[in-house]
């Protein structure tokens, strides 16, 4: 056998092995691949499962890829509206008059409450139409109520997304409606249409649930009448079919937002709470209305059967290494710190002893009030590794907040003067002692 033939045979063998290795990878269909972790058999473009309080990620697939979010965009509109109401800039009973743009969306394809130009409704009525029925006409009129124009409102949306750490998101409209379908009413967008990743959708949902939990009172409503008691009354069935009495009912689901366009396919950001634990789910790019809920069910079934909130420390407990915080200009130089509430953390059964707590305490300037936040508790595994979270900020705050256990008043000038003199002479004598020690050593 010649040397050349041997080389050819070796080359063919290597090629065959390479092809056999790659073949299974090449036959995987887009959207059917699984993330590292549980095999849930999801058929979507992307997905994520998160514990809502801590932001701990329990499952993920293609979670950082940006896709059209369709009406899940409205979660940001809801957030900004609720913020404006909380700040007193907008009132629930404030009357909104429908303009030409709102009337266009009342007639266009897509969800609407059939607003006509000149129609008058309160902010609360339009908010319910947006949160329950995903009404595009109601949504744009609310956006204009908050910011004057949709263009200005979109700027607020993108500013807030940046503030939240939503790195794979761009908002172009308040509704999620594609720009091309809005014609002359489309707000200018330098970077194209609406896009958002599953991770960013979960971040937005977490912010909504944390800062505006009252939203669940509306998103959990299965159906409601718009213009009730009038000849133009319209029945609004919630597009979230996992609510009680609807076709994909799942116990514990009380929000949050669906979405559908031709480009986005069928999407759903859901949330459910049972037995003291709440989860956030996101699925994007499902094939049908029912499919987005059946895929969400897989995530929730896994979550509720696998995880629960376990207590790592009771309220008012001291975390080793973070017993006290330094106080500047106070009657006391230190103040004891404790956990503001019990430290709860999502974990699987039997994992309680694998986690450890680490305190991060910051310096405070007097006066310090009892209950004032002075640090955070970080949860880490026994091997020093941390779980994965939506954002670094979620990881830092996963164990809760450390607070002052008592008041510390601001010291008077005389006490501060004597303290400074004492510190000065203390440092002088310490320096002399070190010098003498150096002579005799």
| Annotated catalytic residue within 134, 197, 220, 340 | 134
H or E stretch at 292: helix 289-306
Which of these, 34, 80, 79, 82, lies nearest to 60 by C-alpha position? 34
The answer to whether the CB of 282 falls within 8 A of the CB of 47 is: yes
Nearest residue to 173 via CA among 248, 108, 242: 108
Whole-Å CA distances, 412 to 42, 75, 334, 416, 419 = 65, 50, 16, 6, 11
Has 71 been annotated as catalytic?
Answer: yes
Looking at 56, 74, 206, 298, which residue is catalytic? Answer: 74
Which entry of 71, 84, 111, 220 is annotated as an active-site residue? 71
Residue 317 is among the residues annotated as catalytic for this protein: no
Pseudo-torsion of CA 128, 132, 137, 142, nearest 10°? 40
Task: Assign 366 to helix, strand or coil.
Answer: coil
134 has catalytic annotation: yes
Report which of 269, 84, 85 is spatially closest to residue 160, judged by C-alpha positions.
84
**What does the block give as tokens for 221?**
């409503």
| 431, HSE (Cβ side, Cα atoms, 13 Å) | 6
Active site residues: 71, 74, 134
């Amino acid at each position: 056998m010649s040397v050349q033939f041997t080389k050819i045979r070796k080359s063919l063998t290597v090629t065959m092995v390479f092809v056999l290795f790659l073949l299974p990878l090449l036959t995987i269909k887009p959207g059917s691949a699984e993330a590292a972790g549980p095999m849930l058999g999801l058929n979507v473009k992307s997905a994520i499962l998160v514990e809502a309080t801590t932001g701990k990620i329990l499952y993920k697939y293609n979670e950082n890829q940006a896709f059209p979010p369709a009406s899940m965009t409205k979660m940001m509109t809801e957030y900004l509206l609720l913020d404006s109401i909380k700040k007193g800039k907008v009132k629930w009973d404030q009357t909104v008059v429908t303009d030409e743009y709102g009337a266009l969306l009342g007639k266009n394809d897509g969800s609407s409450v059939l607003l006509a130009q000149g129609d008058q409704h309160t902010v609360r009525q339009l908010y319910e139409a947006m949160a329950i029925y995903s009404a595009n006409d109601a949504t744009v009129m609310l956006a204009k109520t908050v910011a004057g124009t949709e263009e200005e409102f979109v700027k607020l949306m993108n500013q807030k997304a940046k503030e939240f750490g939503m790195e794979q998101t761009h908002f172009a409209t308040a509704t999620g409606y594609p720009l091309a379908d809005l014609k002359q009413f489309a707000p200018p967008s330098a970077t194209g249409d609406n896009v958002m990743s599953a991770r960013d959708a979960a971040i937005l949902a977490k912010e909504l649930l944390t800062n505006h939990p009252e939203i669940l009172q509306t998103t959990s409503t299965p159906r409601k009448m718009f213009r009730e008691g009038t000849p133009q009354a319209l029945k609004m069935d919630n597009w979230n079919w996992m609510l009680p009495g609807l076709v994909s009912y799942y116990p514990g689901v009380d929000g949050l937002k669906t979405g559908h366009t031709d480009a986005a396919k069928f999407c759903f950001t859901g949330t459910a709470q049972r037995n003291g634990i709440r989860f956030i789910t996101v699925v994007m790019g499902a094939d049908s209305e029912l499919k987005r809920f059946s895929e969400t069910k897989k995530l929730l079934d896994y979550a509720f059967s696998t995880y629960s909130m376990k207590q790592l420390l009771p309220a008012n407990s001291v975390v080793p290494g973070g017993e006290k915080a330094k106080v500047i200009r106070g009657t006391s130089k230190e103040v004891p710190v404790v956990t503001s509430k019990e430290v709860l953390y999502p974990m699987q059964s039997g994992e309680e002893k694998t986690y450890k707590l680490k305190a991060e305490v910051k310096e405070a300037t007097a006066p310090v009030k009892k209950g004032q936040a002075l640090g955070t508790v970080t949860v880490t595994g026994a091997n020093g590794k941390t779980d994965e979270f939506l954002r670094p900020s979620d990881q830092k705050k996963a164990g809760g907040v450390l607070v002052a256990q008592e008041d510390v008043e601001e010291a008077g000038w005389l006490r501060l003067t004597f303290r400074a003199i004492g510190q000065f002479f203390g440092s002088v004598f310490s320096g002399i002692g070190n010098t003498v020690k150096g002579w005799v050593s």
